[in-house]
Structure 1
Amino acid sequence: MNDDDRLTTSEHEIWRSYFTGTRELAAHLDRRMRREAGMPMTYFEILGLLAESPDRRMRMSELAAASLSSSSRLSHAVTAMEKSGWVSRGPAEGDRRGWVAHLTDAGLTALAEAEPTHAATVREHVFDALTPLQVASMAEIGRSIRDGLSGVCASARAEAAGTDVSEAGAGTGAGAGVEVGVEMEEIDTGMDCPLDGSE
């Protein structure tokens, strides 16, 4: 192994700082969302994506890609939110193989109630902690990293093409909220390449 196979000391310090900081922030945000808003960040992100979609509906494959989730992970999350009455799921019109997730009125209310906790946490640990110049630099850096990964994720989706988008567990029902327990813990909040390229 030569020096080109390793990060330099400076590169290692920068990478560890970035990697550790973002993971600690994500973990803290997720804990606070669970404690104060009654949902993990995964659910908050899914509800937000549905709220921004036409008629508050998205195909499951599109929702998986947008939320950077695997099909099975998304299906698990949607099933849990169906039990809370936040999301409903049904066949896509004109496509027997496709499924659509729909944000219910109860889900929209839950999202609105969770938004203050999310905003306060992000503002406290990101925007209030950085100068305007640092914020602008962070935005530029984030875009550059995402642009660099776009081809990698496209390749991952291509490799997964032909596998079914998991719609297992589709059903209906309402509950008193999402229980904070094993069901939530099984939803990984890591950032994966979305593997769902088709339904």
Structure 2
Amino acid sequence: MEASPNARTVQSYEEIAADYARETSGSGVLAEALTRLAEAVPAGQALEIGSGPGWDADRLEDAGLPVRRTDITQAFIDLQRARGKDVDRLDAISDDLGGPYDAVVMLHVLQHVEPKDLSTVLRKVADALRPGAWFLVSIPRGEGASWEVGESGRRYYRALRTKAEFLDALSGAGLEPEWTDQSPGDDGWLVVMAQQRWSGSSND
């Protein structure tokens, strides 16, 4: 059986994890969003799906918010463990997310999820959150799905969504967008903070 686009993308990250970590070290691209989240969640615990090298989790923990770090890429898990961090292996598509959490963070990850799996992942996030808790997520804006070849020569599956499509998908999962930020123009990244609004969630 042929590997799924998500699995093939994970394999690409397995091969370039160390280079990715060096290139993104000290990155402050999402510093404002991470600060907003830490201010909105002064106590509790966050789940980070797709921690990668762990730089965003470091920033949240420096701000006082404990983070359960997870990734599906073993090379990123090994890299963080070598830094003395606790990291769990987690597949957001097939695994239980645990919880309830006071926040879930999913940055630079959802573009690798096939459209057929998006609603499942978002509902799992909503179910893993306490009512009123927060979801911080980023996605590249656009339309359609394709394979992108990075500077390393590795291939990555990317499923793009328009802002309207993604905000609708969040609302449909019981995650109400409360703050957004985006790159100028018609493409680039969209960052959203959404709040768990389903009073009937299994985490009540």
Q: Which has the higher helix share?
A: 1
Query: In terms of Rg, which structure is larger?
Result: 1
Pair in the same fold by TM > 0.5 = no
TM, length-normalised to structure 2:
0.27
